[in-house]
Amino acid sequence: MRLRPVATACGLGGIALLLFVFRLSALPLSQAESDFNTQAQSIARGNPPLFFHVREQQWLQPAALYANAAIRAVGGDDVSGRLASAVAAAISVALLLLITHELTGRSWPSILASVTLMLTPAFWSFAQRGTDVIVPVPLLLLWLLNVLRFLRRDALRTLALAAGMLGISAYTHPAAPLTAVFLWVLTLVVARRRNPARLVAATAVFGAAWLPAAIWFFRHADTYPDTFGRWFVFAPHLRTPLDGLRAFFNTETLGNRASMYWGFWDPAWLFISTPESPAPLLLIAAPLIALGLLRGSRHIPRDAATLLMGAALLAPLAGATFGLPRYLSDATVVMPILALFSALGVRELVSLMTPRAHRTYQSGDTEPAG
């Protein structure tokens, strides 16, 4: 009997939440977590800002802080930020199951993708960290799920919802605004053959999500240089866009970012642990991801494969602008996408071992049980 994907997603998300919150307070709070707690406590005093000033040139995005404050309002304590991260991670596990089921129509690859994500070392660590690292992931997965549904059913409602989720994600993490713009451009490229009026309407929804930031910067212009002016569009380049364009294509700038970007994809760092540094991703997933990319992606719609690969490639590109090596915390959405490809790799292995069942499934007949 086929499992209901929504019920299965909720159940697996619940299991993930229980695992993530186990021993949540075992480790002492880091300085970054203490900063988030201090700013979250300030929300209860009234008239909270949109962006939160920590010290000197350091500002924080609002989403994680308001989630922290909401949990505090119902009795939370200094691990409220960690609990908010655990909830965001559990929702991400559930959403990945729905995304994989949308692509494959089968239960076991969907469950496998979610379990792989749940057991990924870096994802597990971020799920128990009381900062904003994991907060963008559920919103970006909601964008991905709804774009996939739009590509299948061509409904404006799903594309508008995808645009809204992607726009709201700009308030979750310093790397998120640039990531959101890159991913929306990718959406328009993938959906370029669809009804233009729907693309325009959804783009308007995406733009509307940025209005709170625009209003805030209009009223508090002095906050721009150290927030979006540091993360997204530099303040001098906002005044003179041509200078910004020239700076972007500066050979030294491009070289540094290219070095950061390729360093992010270094397999020796991503998959191989050392005594000094554990690997952020599961080593067993590496060959499965490669198989999923090379062969498994052929068995899903071309537009969907383009969307997945594009998202995986673009998220680290945004993170490279921060100038820090191996910046997985700035490109966390890569982890669920790679987990999905690893599940496609397993499905490809199974199909190679059972070619007759695979041909039956590919021809559109009823899928095998399980």
Name which of 73-82, 180-189, 253-262, 288-297 the model is least confident about. 253-262
The pLDDT value recorded for residue 368 is: 39
Task: Give the residue among 342, 316, 311 at the shortest CA–CA distance from 259.
Answer: 316
The pLDDT value recorded for residue 256 is: 84
- Write the pLDDT tens digit of every residue in 4-43: 889 999 999 999 999 999 989 888 999 999 999 999 999 9
SS3 call for 65: helix
Is the pLDDT higher at 142 or at 246?
142
The pLDDT value recorded for residue 296 is: 81
Rounded distance, CA 307 to CA 70, Å? Answer: 34
SS3 call for 247: helix
Read off the pLDDT band of 248 (50, 70, 90): low
CB 44 within 8 A of CB 52: no
User: DSSP string of 16-37?
Assistant: HHHHHHTTTTSSPPPHHHHHHH
- Write the pLDDT tens digit of every residue in 93-114: 999 999 999 999 889 999 999 9
Rounded distance, CA 87 to CA 20, Å? Answer: 8
Rounded distance, CA 314 to CA 81, Å? Answer: 28
pTM: 0.92
On the question of pLDDT at 245 being above 90, the answer is no
Rounded distance, CA 358 to CA 348, Å? Answer: 9
Share of the chain above pLDDT 90, in %: 69
Read off the pLDDT band of 247 (50, 70, 90): low
Number of Cβ within a 10 Å radius of residue 56: 7
Helix, strand, coil content of the chain in percent (nearest 5): 70, 0, 25
The pLDDT value recorded for residue 57 is: 82
With 0-12 CB in 10 A as exposed, 13-18 as middle and 19+ as buried, what is 201? middle
Name which of 146-160, 293-307, 335-349 the model is least confident about. 293-307
Is the pLDDT higher at 61 or at 57?
61
The pLDDT value recorded for residue 18 is: 97
Task: Give the residue among 93, 144, 86, 85 at the shortest CA–CA distance from 118.
Answer: 93
Cα dihedral value 204, 206, 211, 217, nearest 10: -130
CB 163 within 8 A of CB 203: yes
- Angle, CA of 170, 271 and 11, to the nearest 5°: 60
Q: Share the mean pLDDT of the chain.
A: 89
The pLDDT value recorded for residue 328 is: 94
pLDDT average, residue stretch 73-90? 95
Q: Is 46 left (phi over 0), alpha (psi -120 to 50) or beta?
A: left
What ranges make up the beta strands (E) of 39-84? 52-55, 58-60
Q: How many residues belong to the chain?
A: 370
On the question of pLDDT at 346 being above 50, the answer is yes
pLDDT average, residue stretch 133-146? 98
| Inter-axis angle of helices 302-319 and 176-190, nearest 10 | 160
- Write the pLDDT tens digit of every residue in 178-226: 999 999 999 999 999 999 999 999 999 999 999 999 999 999 998 998 8
pLDDT average, residue stretch 267-283? 90
From residue 195, alpha-carbon distances to 71, 208, 324, 327 in Å are 42, 20, 40, 37
Rounded distance, CA 5 to CA 19, Å? Answer: 21
